[in-house]
Structure 1
């Protein structure tokens, strides 16, 4: 199986179906966008099984590709910045640069057709996510700053023996996970309409948020990419999915609230507490070592006034909870969950403004390679994203998978469970030795299904 590789068959570029007047103006980036220039593209994809024969008509990949291209072209009318590229204006005198989206720059969104001589079961049945899954996405290891010369959106449709994988790579400067899955939703709705008149119920909002008195054009204090661009590679990691049923999560939540003598701790906070404790234990961290649990926190509803859910852009900042490894493991699940809960409660409009105001006084770009340590846990994505609601003529996807992007020791990516109902799938990245220890962790495995 290791010798089997993805073969690219064809590639083209897709532009918005109709001219968009707003696309003639620069799309300026907000502080939470500009911070992300060194992160990787967002890479998520849906795995479908090929439909069974209907009325003796065989599945046609050519018809599927054509319908996907047509619906993507219509979706880009609503998400027109994704058809452009990044651009930079430099002011040598002021030693600054202005990075923005030029919606008319470049050939459009990239669309790739590829093949892979493997079955759906060969993708899903191994204990660890097969390495070949990384090849189901374009923009491998690309960082967002590369959007100056690469498309901001690339779709790769890979035909398997008995299935189809649709992988989407989107520049993380243009939007966060909420924006990303909103794009998927609109594309899916348009595709299902199959050319019929469709009124998109929740149109994207491309008006970027800036604190009062700032924007829309915010320069960075650099004149050359070498001053702020950085890349990172990770060592050997095992990537594995663990499933948590609705009942299992309900038990965790009840346990955490009982031990904390409260009823305010959420399901996800309880699950995150379990994962944090278990990974720290698996990594055999010394008791005096500082460890963090970082939650990617959506700020749309936290701002005052709040932003609409349809806001396109990055509106996420990290909520960081800190303790020592010794304290983390000496206390029970409820104590850890209550720490996480308090951090989330404290993450208010005031805190978000404090973060952004500090950035405006001294703008910077995150350097992911220096941010992450092997003693901590980062919870990314969200089980609230309606990933399985996106269909393209095959019925419901059988699985969600991700690429190489934005992974490192202790990275945990959350997905809704396939069966829904509040179930959750977690994709955990750990060194081989630590993953083996996690697989033997009694507290963790008592809650997980493998």
Structure 2
């Protein structure tokens, strides 16, 4: 599996000019007391990942910017009453096992208020706007391990010429994408009106899903520094977002299913799109027929574990599912070949497979890094099922939702629902520069409707 590389994103545009106006901390509004939550086997593989970053861009808002900031900070203090783990720090128990620690004397979440009034919202919506977006999100290049010394949640509120950017950095050792968007929706619910309650309470007890204590031997230095042993500089990458319309998605799904045999299971939208991406990126890399190519999906295990966990489970409940083949085989076979491999790998990842993966890690815990992923990987994160365009703080739905620069490597893909709803999907891809140039010219991949 893959964790950590510090990728170098191609700088084809100037960064946004950011002026920091203030920095403060926000704590839960009410007294919580001392709370401790052991990190479990599902959490620990991400300790050497970077903070997970999300960026929401809004056009316009009512009132003055200072008033909007105050409202966002006030509602953050309220929602942290339920999601107070995000206001804590990482710590260790007497056995050296990682945990989330919270007490009322801690500083809470970090909030930066910034100004980028020279920038229009429209300038941030382009397919190649990655370099402009980077400075709108906090904690670039910050490892989750640094949660021992830093807040577990950092927020940056940036004033734009005609809107607002809300950039968030979440410590990935304590939550996954499902929990991230649960928190964001809950925060927006509180912000929309006085006395508003969140619709779904977080399920906070991690030991309900796993209670084995695992001690990780980390190459730590004293103080808030990144250990040299887990630094890694990767190749120069380009990031681009490809927007697939509903009709393009339906064509992809139809084409993949048209190749399948009568006795095979039909392929879902996700499986068909994943195969489409896997084949296209593999073509763009111009690999030799004998070169391996690997597909990875970070799958939600909430309904796969035994007993199943609720969607509101707060933490990491994802595992990486792998499949692979030779490049020549993937590209020589019909489109259903890759889809069938992905489908079989996903179906096989049941509670037994999850248990075996956890036991293997517990018996031989290791620190994963992106450089461990190997070559020629296509990895899918996030999900078009996340209702990211419903995060309304009281000034409308976002114009765009993007990932930050962290946690990217050659072949990393993030999927989001398209803004126009229906069944459109946005595909955010990071690739080596030459491969990206070829992908942009691949008519079979583009479906002529992007």
TM-score by length of 1: 0.91
Give the 3 Å change call, closer, same or farther, for CA 3–288 of structure 1 in structure 2.
Answer: closer
Q: Secondary structure at the match of 2:259?
A: helix
- Specify the alignment match of 1:326 in structure 2: 328
Q: 1:163 deviation in Å?
A: 1.2
Alignment partners' CA distance in 1, 2:203 and 2:216: 28
Determine the structure 2 residue equivalent to 1:351: 353
| Aligned counterpart for 1:29 among listed residues 39, 55, 70 | 39
1:336, distance to aligned residue in structure 2 (A): 1.2
1:85 aligns with 2:86: no
Q: 2:205 aligns with which of 207, 225, 237?
A: 207
In the TM superposition, 1:86-105 aligns within 5 A as: 86-89=90-93, 97-104=96-103
Equivalent position SS for 1:184: helix
CA positional deviation for 1:63: 0.6
Deviates more, 1:223-232 or 1:146-155: 223-232
- Aligned alpha-carbon RMSD (Å): 1.9
Alignment partner of 1:280 is 2:279: no
Cα 1:79/1:238, change in 2 over 3 Å: same
Please state how far the C-alpha of 1:110 moved relative to its aligned partner: 0.3
The counterpart of 1:9, out of the listed 13, 21, 46, is 21
Q: How does 1:437-448 map to 2 (within 5 A)?
A: 437-446=438-447, 448=449
Aligned residue for 1:443, secondary structure, equals: helix
* SS state at 2:164 partner: strand
C-alpha separation between the residues in 1 aligned to 2:444 and 2:16?
37
The aligned residue for residue 114 of structure 1 is: 114
1:73 aligned onto 2:73: no
Range 105-114 or range 405-414, more displaced = 105-114
Distance in 2 (CA, whole Å) between partners of 1:429 and 1:222 is: 31
1:236-251 aligned within 5 A? 236-251=236-251
How much does 1:235 deviate? 2.7
Change (3 A) 1:67 1:3: closer
Deviations 1:61-119 (A, max 9, x none): 0110000001000110111011011113465xxxxx22111112641100111111211
Cα distance between partner residues in 2 of 1:185 and 1:135:
23
Change (3 A) 1:3 1:70: closer
Q: Do the aligned residues in 1 keep the contact of 2:43 with 2:174 (CA within 8 Å)?
A: yes
CA distance in 2 between partners of 1:19 and 1:289 (Å) = 57
**What's the counterpart of residue 54 of structure 1?**
none
Distance (Å, rounded) in 1 between the aligned partners of 2:209 and 2:165 = 40
Q: Does 1:379 align with 2:377?
A: no
Alignment check: 8 A CA contact 1:253 1:270 kept: yes
Alpha-carbon distance change, 390 to 223 in structure 1, aligned in 2, over 3 angstroms: closer
Deviations 1:392-446 (A, max 9, x none): 1221111012211100111111001001112100011112211110011121012
Asked if 1:220 corresponds to 2:215, the answer is yes
Aligned partner of 2:63 among 59, 80, 93? 59
Q: Write the distance in 2 (CA, Å) between the matches of 1:275 and 1:100.
A: 37
State the alpha-carbon separation in 1 of the partners of residues 32 and 449 from structure 2.
48
Question: C-alpha distance in 2, partners of 1:445/1:340?
Answer: 21
Q: Deviations over 1:167-186 (max 9, x none)?
A: 11100011000000000010
Which residue in 2 is equivalent to 1:55?
Answer: none
Aligned CA distance change for structure 1 residues 223 and 43 (closer, same or farther; 3 Å): closer
Q: Please report how far the alpha carbon of residue 219 of structure 1 lies from its aligned counterpart in structure 2 after TM superposition.
A: 3.5
* C-alpha distance 257-292 of structure 1, shift in aligned 2 (>3 A): same
Q: Is it true that 1:150 corresponds to 2:160 in the alignment? A: no
Contact preservation (8 Å) 2:49, 2:143: yes
Structure 1 residues 221 and 240: alpha-carbon distance in aligned structure 2, compared to 1, 3 A threshold: closer
Following the alignment from structure 1 to structure 2, what is the Cα–Cα distance between the partners of residues 67 and 231? 38
Cα distance between partner residues in 2 of 1:310 and 1:447: 39
CA-CA distance at 1:363 after TM superposition? 1.7
How far is the alpha carbon of 1:209 from its aligned partner?
4.0
Report how many residues are paired: 429
Match of 1:20 among 32, 38, 45: 32
Change (3 A) 1:170 1:372: farther
Shift of 1:200: 2.4
C-alpha distance 416-4 of structure 1, shift in aligned 2 (>3 A):
closer
SS of the residue 2:322 aligns to: strand
Cα distance, 1:367 vs structure 2: 1.8
Distance, in Å, in 1 between the alignment partners of 2:171 and 2:309 is: 21
Unaligned stretches of 5+ in structure 2? 1-12, 222-226
Displacement of 1:357 after TM fit? 1.1
1:369: how far off?
2.5
